[in-house]
Amino acid sequence: NAGVTQTPKFQVLKTGQSMTLQCAQDMNHNSMYWYRQDPGMGLRLIYYSASEGTTDKGEVPNGYNVSRLNKREFSLRLESAAPSQTSVYFCASRGTLAGGYNEQFFGPGTRLTVL
Amino acid sequence: AQTVTQSQPEMSVQEAETVTLSCTYDTSESNYYLFWYKQPPSRQMILVIRQEAYKQQNATENRFSVNFQKAAKSFSLKISDSQLGDTAMYFCAFMNGNTDKLIFGTGTRLQVFP
């Protein structure tokens, strides 16, 4: 199993450009998430999807859109990038293991710089 | 709203010694989970240990253990026999058992010296 994969690993954009961050998981998890990590801020939830076909806003959704394409894939789109969106972006998925544990598994992250 | 506070931005410890990282949280929920994640320089988020709020027994995973004080809303991580590979950022996180959302603290940077 590859777990949670993200593409690209690095990206540089100019202000106003658009791009889509891709995320896929092969663990048959229902829930998927997008976080951003800024220095000194910890990880903050942008959007999440509790199941295929549903999405909900997290703590910092402004400037982003998401698509839950199918059970495996959850993409994050920046329609008009701004320097304030310079960050490291993490995708995660959640499964319920035996015993009822609720653990999120994280992808390797995408470092995005907006000039 | 739930909040997670890590009051130690940086900590250091000598190899083979023991270190404790602090975390406090605020919630009115009774059903929740607490986690410690490790983030080495590779950026990968790695789950270190988890604790269910309904369990009174403190979780342990090899050299890692927690001190879960539910009434005080405290959830500290103890690392015994520290190793150079423990050098990383450590994040405390809270999950409401009725929602899908993880709330993270701001992290503690741990440096293990030889």
One digit per residue, the tens of pLDDT, for chain B of length 114 reads: 789 999 999 999 999 999 999 999 999 988 899 999 999 999 999 999 999 999 889 999 999 999 999 999 999 999 999 999 999 999 999 998 777 788 999 999 999 999
Candidates B34, B38, B39, B102: best to mutate against A (most CBs of A within 10 A) is B102
Best CA proximity match to B34, nearest among B110, B91, B78: B91
Contact B104 A48 (CB under 8 A): no
Distance from CA of A93 to the nearest CA of B (A): 10
CA-based nearest residue in chain B for residue A100:
B52
Contact A106 B44 (CB under 8 A): yes
Neighbouring CB atoms inside 10 A of A3's CB total 13
The pLDDT value recorded for residue A75 is 97
Residue B52 in contact with partner chain A when CB distance is under 8 A = yes
What are the DSSP calls for B27-63, one per residue? -S-SSEEEEEEEE-TT---EEEEEEETT--SPPEETT
Residue B100 in contact with partner chain A when CB distance is under 8 A = yes
